[in-house]
A and B are shown apart, each in its own frame.
Chain A
């Protein structure tokens, strides 16, 4: 983990509230899919903001985020050439196994960011990507890697299946050959549903969790979530023990 300055290479509005931020610089240890960075957005904000890494290639760190509050709003207004202080790469990434060849990725909203990095990383595998969004305008088409079988769902039915991506996932698993693994990212309810489907179909599943963070380095225990530990549970840090957890370990609220 390092703390260093990155220069903004570009800020691109992909669609509606979704942006791609490219930062120029490099880490001594290359990030792996599922890891995130903790970014100092602005002096007016006391805390940093955690953002999933969506790509890291040729000294360009790519982030994809949606404007949800003050921090992401300020970030979307940044200009090329500005410098941002970054702590990273942080956290445990997605487990990867050579024997997992048939891969199912399920992402909702900007929960797709770590999955994009992962799919790029697993380019040799056969991947189906189930992508859910509010409506057609909220799908970041230009951010999606090629060579992947995509299935979309939108809440209003303006693109792909109508309804939640969790429903599409459930249908997909019923009708298709069983994937070797499910990777997920997105809203809590979606991750929870992935956990249920993983259990029902007996497929290992790993999801990238999110939470409010203060330190983002495993120091303050602010971002914890309930994780099974033997016959009991304990609060584990999303930033350091995660953000990726096996759905089997998570105690869902």
Chain B
């Protein structure tokens, strides 16, 4: 049996659907949400796990904006050992791939956590290295803001995880995301997740305070699209496009500019049927435009493919 039309390969990771629940928005995948259609889901990325437990940030952690939300959860998690013992066994799978998101303060720590995780390598399918949480050590730079640091962290994980697929999650808060992506790729990343939330701030005059955190939702979609477009042009590894997807058409846009898969985030909170909508739109698009697989349309509107076989094909994207 081959893959279904919407099956995708993210490097060595094979998924039945290109739809991924992005890191941090679906707990660890252990919460049973009856209305989530697992048949249409490709993978779940867990909340980010660190070596030691992290209490996370104080309230307020959530702030609605005019077209999205700011979050400041701060990577609350029980630590890798507790996670492996108490949460990993209860992650619901049903054919959905499990991607464990990890973070580390330095190279030694990220190596250690990877080593611990590799002891359980049959219990999950890939690792996502979160180098880009805007809510930790806010005054310092994020690892993914430095090509050198990105390279060191990715190498530290890849040396230990070997054949285990490694996805690297990047921040849009950089001068040139293409440079960071290249450095992750060169260091051994199998795929990229982009974008993480965008650093942002709200003013709350009711309490005369500011709310800082990471912005998500429709307001970041065009930042994500531009990042995916630019990186796809230069990069040779698959991209999971994330940022402000609230419809099937949004997902199609990410794929058309270069994403091989799409991550859903806060849009799912607003619309619990988003997984079905994205899946059904992508299926319909392939069928109506006579494409065989999703890989055929990845990057369709990216200038990288200008000389490619797909240019000039009269597909009908505006109907979606």
Contacts and interface: CB of A to CB of B under 8 A. Distances in A.
Interface of A: 1-3, 40, 45-48, 85, 87, 211-225, 234-235, 240
A46 B270 contact: yes
Q: Is the interface of A mostly helix, strand, loop or mixed?
A: loop
Contacts of A213: 62
B186 interface: no
A95 B34 CA distance: 24
B76 A235 contact: yes
A46 B68 contact: yes
B73 interface: yes
A221 B27 contact: yes
Contacts of B69: 46-47, 214
B38 interface: no
A48 B27 contact: no
B24 to A, nearest CB: 7
Nearest to B56: A235
B31 A212 contact: no
Contacts, number: 86
Nearest to B72: A222
Interface residues of B, number: 33
B59 A220 contact: no
Interface string B52-94: 0001100111111101110101001000000000000000000
B205 interface: no
Contact of A48 (B31, B55, B217, B269): B269
A1 B33 contact: yes
A219 B92 CA distance: 14
Contact of B218 (A46, A220, A221): A46
A39 to B, nearest CB: 11
B266 A235 contact: no
B97 interface: no
Nearest to B53: A234
Nearest to A47: B64
Sorted nearest first, the 3 A-B pairs with minimum C-beta distance are A222-B62, A3-B272, A3-B35
A214 to B, nearest CB: 5
B285 interface: no
A85 B270 CA distance: 10
Contacts of A1: 33-35
**For B218, B266, B272, which residue has the most chain A Cβ atoms within 10 angstroms?**
B272
A234 B266 CA distance: 24
Given A212-B61, A215-B25, 7 more contacts: A1-B35, A46-B65, A46-B218, A214-B71, A219-B27, A220-B27, A221-B61
B153 interface: no
